[in-house]
A and B are shown apart, each in its own frame.
Chain A
Amino acid sequence: MTVLLLAGLLAACQQAPPAPPPPQPTPQNGYGATERAFVELAIATDEQALKLLDLTDSTELKQNRNVELTELRKLLDAPYVNNHAGHDMPGMPTDAEIQLASTSPDALKQFVHTHLTESLEVVRSAGPAITHPPTAEVVKLMERHRTAELAAG
């Protein structure tokens, strides 16, 4: 019995998992996982939104998204990959919505408004989570743009 118990304990010791690595320290105010995720998401959202906004005659909306895209791309630390294509993301019009908006002025107006309100919510949610100053600047720019665009109706 003792031998069996000892054998069991030995087996248990041999099967102990490798010691997990210590958690990687998040660089203070650095471009971390949250910043990277936000920038990639914001690029995907703005690029898709432009397809919708191209259906409008508002140069301001299109110009604002393009300015944001330029600033967002400057923040990338690796080649951009669109992780959100085809997804039903807040503030990101779907292909079906863009298709519908191309034939219905009412739908276009509604989807533009939804893009602005939902992406403003995302930007406001990101605000406190973003600690990297250059990324935080772009977040503020995006919030200013959307607030003004919604106020302009």
Chain B
Amino acid sequence: MRKPLFHIAAVIGLIATALSVPGAAQGEPVRVAEFLAECPISHRLADDPIVLPNLAGASHFHDFFGNHSTNARSTQQSLEGQTGNCNPASDISSYWVPTLYRNNTAIAPTGVTFYYLGEGVNNPAAIQPTPYGLKIVAGNAKATGDADSIARWSCLHAGHVNPSKNFVTCPAGTMLETYLDFPQCWDGRNLDSADHKSHMSYPVAGGCPSSHPVSVPKLRMVLRYPVNGSTAGLRLASGTGQTMHGDFFNVWPRAEMERRVRNCLNVVIKCDHNGNHG
């Protein structure tokens, strides 16, 4: 009884594959404004160079990605010239998130991708390179529920599970994943601010507001954790899934960032790790 069903499924699959061939001919660039960096976990520390500068061991635990040298004392000057673990190797920026735990066991993400996107603004040609040394914090580490959270948790390979602002139960064979979009409008003056947020803003109606007029790439962090099944015992070092937050300290070499913004985002083309396209 199962064989004919399998055949039907295979035929449907073939038709679906044929129908899903992109409209663009082979070799044509994909018209999505995107470049990316994939950076596995580098190290874990109870440090936070943005929120608790110079106070080593004073923070909740964070998983650090990218620049190997990041710690409580990191500055633009200390990070530049160091090495990291991103693909591309030229990205030596620092990225960090609160550590995920199941009960008291830390769980490292096994897929870590930072997308730099031209979406969210109507005029991608006006996007400027992310300023060197810019610090951005996204998400709300103090979230007390869904209302004050922008976290998004879902399951890789299980699209039928509705996304949630808190942890979701992912079926066996799938992975828990989380998305976080960073603000992409800069005030044009400050690389940081007292609350670490007010120098940046999200766009309004497809444009950057006059208070934050400089459009920069939209950073989207996608983390995948080797976690499925019950959410019992899952917590972040900052609390519930709703408190997911991310920190970014930009030390992309200026020329590498500028080339990608010009060749990928301004002209709306999907680039590979090296900032190139077919």
Chain A contacts to B: CB under 8 angstroms: 11-12, 15-18, 20-21, 23, 33-34, 36-38, 41, 78, 82-90, 121-122, 125-126, 129
Q: Does B132 contact A (CB under 8 A)?
A: yes
Contacting pair B238 A83 (CB below 8 A):
no
Contacting pair A41 B52 (CB below 8 A):
yes
Given A122-B58, A126-B55, 5 other A-B contacts at CB below 8 A?
Answer: A12-B258, A17-B258, A41-B52, A87-B60, A87-B141
Complex CA distance for A126 and B142, rounded to whole angstroms: 23
Complex CA distance for A23 and B188, rounded to whole angstroms: 14
Which residues of chain A are near B189, meaning CB under 8 Å? 21
Contacting pair B55 A38 (CB below 8 A):
yes
Complex CA distance for A23 and B77, rounded to whole angstroms: 11
Complex CA distance for A11 and B60, rounded to whole angstroms: 45
Complex CA distance for A88 and B141, rounded to whole angstroms: 11
For this complex, 26 residue pairs linking A to B, each with C-beta atoms less than 8 Å apart, are: A11-B262, A12-B262, A15-B128, A15-B261, A15-B262, A15-B266, A17-B129, A18-B131, A20-B131, A20-B132, A20-B191, A21-B189, A21-B190, A23-B76, A37-B51, A37-B53, A41-B55, A86-B239, A88-B61, A88-B237, A89-B59, A89-B60, A90-B46, A122-B55, A122-B57, A126-B55
Which of B51, B56, B58, B266 sits near A83, CB closer than 8 Å? B51
Q: How far is the CB of A6 from chain B (nearest CB, A)?
A: 15
Which of B53, B128, B243 sits near A33, CB closer than 8 Å? B53
Q: Does B54 contact A (CB under 8 A)?
A: yes
Near A by CB (< 8 A), chain B positions 51-78 give: 51-61, 76
Q: How far is the CB of A33 from chain B (nearest CB, A)?
A: 5
Point out which of A15, A17, A21, A125 has the most chain B C-beta atoms below 10 A from its C-beta.
A17
Residue of A nearest to B48 (CB): A37
Contacting pair B238 A88 (CB below 8 A):
yes
Which residues of chain B are near A38, meaning CB under 8 Å? 52, 55, 58
Contacting pair B141 A83 (CB below 8 A):
yes
Which residues of chain A are near B188, meaning CB under 8 Å? 18
A18/B128 contact (C-beta < 8 A), A86-B142, A88-B237, A90-B46 known: yes
